[in-house]
């Protein structure tokens, strides 16, 4: 797929009648929130427009999982008008915005360069990420692992096409998400068929997965004690990393924007693990 689409003229989008109208940030937000409503975000989360102007004219959108220094730098270099991320740049309260800390410095750089910043975190987890991840590993007959709102929720539980060893399941996860390695708690020869998947940090999803009858939980950021305790309880763990599963957000949102806004310039961050294992 090409990195971006052609735009006919600066700051305008074709309306299908050979005419052109301005495209604004809110036009994009409306499409995102139609598919991933903010009401499905967890109450502790901070989603939506975090910096910028809804009425800002937009031609270029840069998509990344996190608003890191590198993502902000690339958005500025590429002259983006909007930075879309999965994880919010701002989680807690902020009493001042200065260059004295890394969050303030990033915000200042975005604002100075006229780049709005929008995050879609747990609302995307609930209404997109979980089912997308389940589909990648071939789960069937899925149901919600833990409800958040109105029957929708975090994670999915489903059935593999057939029973496999834990080792083969892990190999399938590596292939599905393009990973060099995963961490496993459990006997590699154990036969698994019922699988829970919870992209991101899944420690809190271990007990719900066990209660749901899963043979294995595929997630990220699993700590030592939860891993060994769940294994003793009969739930194996495949830790594919926080980034390891959630990077699928980048490509998914790029496809959505290119489908809904064919004249918008869209660029996605390169998929690269944020750490190195040696």
pLDDT at 4 over 70: no
pLDDT tens, position by position, 47-95: 999 999 999 999 999 999 999 999 999 999 999 999 999 999 999 888 8
pLDDT at 16 over 70: no
pLDDT tens, position by position, 87-113: 999 998 888 999 999 999 999 999 999
DSSP 267: E
Instruction: Kindly report each contact of residues 217-226 with a partner whose C-beta sits within 8 Å and lies 24 or more positions away, as own/partner.
Output: 218/133, 218/137, 218/173, 218/245, 219/155, 219/245, 220/244, 220/245, 220/246, 222/183, 222/185
pLDDT tens, position by position, 151-196: 999 999 999 999 999 999 999 999 999 999 999 999 999 999 999 9
pLDDT at 18 over 70: no
Which pTM does this prediction carry?
0.90
How many angstroms separate the CA atoms of 159 and 261, rounded?
Answer: 36
Secondary structure of residue 260 in the 3-state scheme: helix
Q: Report H helices in 13-113.
A: 25-35, 69-77, 102-112
CB 205 within 8 A of CB 226: no
């Amino acid at each position: 797929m090409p990195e971006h689409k052609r735009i006919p003229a600066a700051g305008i989008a074709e309306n299908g009648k050979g005419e052109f109208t301005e495209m604004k940030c809110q036009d994009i937000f409306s499409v995102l929130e139609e598919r991933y409503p903010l009401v499905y975000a967890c109450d502790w989360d901070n989603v939506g427009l975090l910096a910028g102007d809804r009425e800002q004219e937009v031609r270029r959108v840069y998509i990344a999982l996190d608003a890191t220094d590198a993502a902000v730098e690339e958005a500025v270099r590429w002259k983006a008008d909007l930075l879309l991320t999965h994880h919010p740049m701002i989680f807690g309260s902020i009493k001042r915005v200065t260059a004295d800390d890394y969050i303030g410095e990033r915000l200042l750089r975005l604002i100075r360069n006229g780049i709005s910043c929008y995050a879609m975190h747990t609302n995307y987890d609930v209404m997109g990420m979980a089912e997308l991840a389940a589909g990648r590993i071939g789960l069937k007959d899925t149901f919600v692992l833990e409800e958040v709102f109105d029957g929708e929720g975090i994670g999915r539980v489903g059935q593999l096409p057939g029973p496999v060893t834990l080792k083969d399941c892990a190999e399938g996860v590596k292939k599905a998400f393009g990973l060099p390695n995963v961490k496993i708690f459990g006997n590699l020869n154990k036969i698994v068929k019922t699988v829970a998947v919870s992209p991101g940090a899944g420690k809190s999803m271990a007990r719900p997965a066990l209660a749901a009858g899963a043979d294995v939980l595929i997630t990220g950021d699993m700590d030592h004690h939860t891993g060994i305790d769940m294994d003793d309880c009969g739930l194996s763990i495949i830790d594919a990393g926080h980034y390891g599963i959630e990077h699928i957000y980048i490509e998914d949102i790029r496809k959505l924007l290119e489908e809904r806004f064919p004249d918008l310039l869209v660029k996605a961050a390169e998929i690269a693990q944020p750490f190195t294992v040696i």
